[in-house]
Amino acid sequence: MFNNEINMSVNIAGVEWKNPVTTASGTFGSGIEYSDFVDLNALGAVTTKGVSNVPWEGNQTPRIAETTSGMLNAIGLQNPGVDVFIERDLAFLKEFDTNIIVNVCGRTERDYCEVVEKLADNDVDMLEINISCPNVSEGGITFGQNCDSVESITKAVKKYAKQPIIMKLSPNVSNIGDIARAAEAGGADAVSLINTLTGSKIDIHRRKFELANKTGGLSGPAIKPIAIRMVYEVAKAVNIPIIGMGGIMNAEDAIEFILAGASAVAVGTANFTNQRATLEVIAGIYDYMKKYNVKDINELIGCVE
Amino acid sequence: MNNRRNVEIVDIKQLSSDVFSMWVKDEEIASNGKPGQFASLYCNNETRLLPRPISICEINKDEGLVRFVYRVVGKGTKEFSELKVSDRINILGPIGDGFNLEGKNVLVVGGGIGIPPLLELSKHLDGKKHIILGYRDEVFLDDEFKQYGDVYVSTEDGSSGTKGNVIDAIVANKLLEDNEIDMIFACGPTPMLRGLKDFANKNGIKAQISLEERMACGVGACLSCVCKTKEKDHHTHVHNTRICKEGPVFYANEVEI
């Protein structure tokens, strides 16, 4: 299907991706359910849902609410824990010719390190450290909102990691460039952004919050302009690669991120609207390159000054 | 599961002030759909990102048709209510695990917009069926159930049938006294299901209940639509289960509602 004269492969912190498209953590499970619809071999990488050291129950329901051109979620990082993950999900993913990025979450620095250590000798290509989930009371975003804690947790996980570390950044900060610099200073091999923006929605008829958690993370096309601006700012601030995300629904959106400075992109909420969104994004990037006679995708990365 | 499809609407009718009935042409669900399963219906308006989970009300296998009966509760279902014959809609399905067809003398109990999936169920159940349909005020679909069993209606305002709820109608019509009921099938609002679960337990009858929760992916990945479970769930490894995948139908005693 793809012409060999067009290069879509990118190198993210020493890991070769066949194309620059992955999935945004939490929107694709571990790929098992989506493999009915998507040939996982076609993806540059699969990024899993957050994995913690022990099983997490997650938040009360309702956990989601739709908003105009977006959605709020407050799942609360429910997951079966790293041991089940390795035995079941990783075993499944290993059968595919794609990179595996495991998203790691925790309540304490020790929790993160425990998961990173357990994954160190497993067949995992990269680790994405979630210091930006807005839906848990401990851990998550609490590590991601000031430069010192970002640098220190990055250093801590780097001690145990045998794979390149991607720090996933929160947009709920006053200067994302500074946060990215702190991650780079701590030894991060890449950054991914943006996680969701904290938001809320009220049911005016019942006069109650729509989410049991009251607040949730806003995702979808509503947040894309913010994400583009932040990717651009981070690209100016650091020299490590950026995985861009936030409201990518189609190839045009993905290309915007790449032009703003992202070396790769993640498709998230769009998976809920269209199970095959990732594949359509890949095909659309290819068509764009063909149309504009771009031989190598790397020419496009950050080319908008 | 097969990919999302763009299907044609072949019939759309209003059944009450806010309940609509829509038939679509879809061989996939018509061939493989089971009572109690549902489909994800996607809005054509791109500002509405999430599919609406709508239960399968009826299947016409011979003609490859599927019926959805839904209430207008928000902008998405409003959009669906405004569709016309020959318009198209994206759907994914059949989704989930439906009712187990069992019981020789059963109660089929529906409340409000939980009533539609019981129509296809009633077609497939063998044995004696006592069908109890609860409404706030306006009734719909009740006539269509009559070919499959004895129909009893309750309304909160007493405008039709027994005044009160579905349990009031079961009691008023002495359905337990006069029959050896061996299974309850139910779909409706959570307070009704909670009441029926207690009622079933008190009377030593097994019950299958169909649950509803806000959904995002509809394929079991996002963990939005979970329900608390009595035992640790085999998939999630915690005390909750995915309504879209392991449900929407559960034995009442497996779930905490």
Domain boundaries, given as residue ranges, for chain B? 5-95, 99-210, 213-257
Residue A101 forms part of a structural domain = yes
CATH number at residue A183: 3.20.20.70
Helical packing angle, A224-237 and A251-260, nearest 10°: 30
Which candidate in A64, A83, A203, A280 is best for mutational testing of the B interface (most B CBs within 10 A)?
A64
Q: Among B42, B219, B236, select the one facing A273 at the smallest CB separation.
A: B42
B238 to A58: CB separation less than 8 angstroms, yes or no: yes
Residue A118 forms part of a structural domain = yes
Residue A211 forms part of a structural domain = no
A33 to B237: CB separation less than 8 angstroms, yes or no: no
A61 to B225: CB separation less than 8 angstroms, yes or no: yes
Report pLDDT for B149: 97
CA A75/CA A268 separation, integer angstroms:
15
Report pLDDT for A5: 86
Nearest residue on chain B to A220, alpha-carbon basis: B49
Write b or e for each residue in B65-89: b if 16 or more Cβ atoms lie within 10 A of its Cβ, otherwise e. bbbbbbbbeeebbebbbebeeeeeb
pTM, 2 dp: 0.96
Digit-by-digit pLDDT tens for chain A (305 residues) are: 566 689 999 999 999 999 999 999 999 999 999 999 999 999 999 999 999 999 999 999 999 999 999 999 999 999 999 999 999 999 999 999 999 999 999 999 999 999 999 999 999 999 999 998 777 777 777 789 999 999 999 999 999 999 999 999 999 999 999 999 999 999 999 999 999 999 999 999 999 999 999 999 999 999 999 999 999 999 999 999 999 999 999 999 999 999 999 999 999 999 999 999 999 999 999 999 999 999 999 999 999 98
* Domain boundaries B213-257, CATH class: mainly beta
With tokens 């049938």, the residue in question is B161
Residue A282 forms part of a structural domain = yes
CA B180/CA A303 separation, integer angstroms:
75
Burial of B31 (0-12, 13-18, 19+ CB in 10 A): exposed
CATH of B5-95, one of 3.20.20.70, 2.40.30.10, 3.40.50.360, 3.60.9.10: 2.40.30.10
Domain span at A133: 10-55+76-200+218-299
CA distance B29 to chain A (A): 16
For chain A, the domain total comes to 1
Q: Among B49, B226, B237, select the one facing A81 at the smallest CB separation.
A: B237
The arrangement of secondary structure in B99-210, i.e. its CATH architecture, is 3-Layer(aba) Sandwich (3.40)
Digit-by-digit pLDDT tens for chain B (257 residues) are: 789 999 999 999 999 999 999 999 999 999 999 999 999 999 999 999 999 999 999 999 999 999 999 999 999 999 999 999 999 999 999 999 999 999 999 999 999 999 999 999 999 999 999 999 999 999 999 999 999 999 999 999 999 999 999 999 999 999 999 999 999 999 999 999 999 999 999 999 999 999 999 999 999 999 999 999 999 999 999 999 999 999 999 999 999 99
Round the CA-based radius of gyration of chain B to a whole number and report it.
18
Residue A61 contacts B, CB cutoff 8 Å:
yes
- The reply to whether omega before B248 is within 30° of 0 (cis) is yes
CA distance B240 to chain A (A): 7
Q: Which ipTM did the prediction report?
A: 0.95
Burial of A173 (0-12, 13-18, 19+ CB in 10 A): buried
B214 to A68: CB separation less than 8 angstroms, yes or no: no
In sequence order, what are the residues at sequence separation of 6 or more whose Cβ sits closer than 8 angstroms to the Cβ of residue B173? B130, B152, B162
How many degrees, rounded to 5, is the angle at CA A224 between CA A126 and CA A40? 40
For residue A90, what is the DSSP state? I
Residue A205 forms part of a structural domain = no
Residue A16 forms part of a structural domain = yes
- The answer to whether A133 is a known catalytic residue is yes
CA distance A301 to chain B (A): 28
CA distance A84 to chain B (A): 8
Give phi and psi for B21, each to the nearest 5. Answer: -120, 130
Report pLDDT for A142: 79
Contact between B29 and B60 under an 8 Å Cβ cutoff? The reply is no
Report pLDDT for A135: 74
Contacts of A84 in chain B (CB under 8 A): 237
Residue A65 contacts B, CB cutoff 8 Å:
yes
Nearest residue on chain B to A26, alpha-carbon basis: B222
Q: Among B2, B49, B221, select the one facing A71 at the smallest CB separation.
A: B49
Residue A29 contacts B, CB cutoff 8 Å:
yes
Residue A271 forms part of a structural domain = yes
> Which pair of tokens denotes residue B20?
């609509």
Contacts of A271 in chain B (CB under 8 A): 217, 221
Q: Among B1, B47, B222, select the one facing A272 at the smallest CB separation.
A: B222
Contact between A17 and A10 under an 8 Å Cβ cutoff? The reply is yes
Residue A284 forms part of a structural domain = yes
**SS3 per-residue string spanning B214-238:** CCCCCCCCCCCCEEEECCCCCCCCC
Which candidate in B50, B223, B242 is best for mutational testing of the A interface (most A CBs within 10 A)?
B223
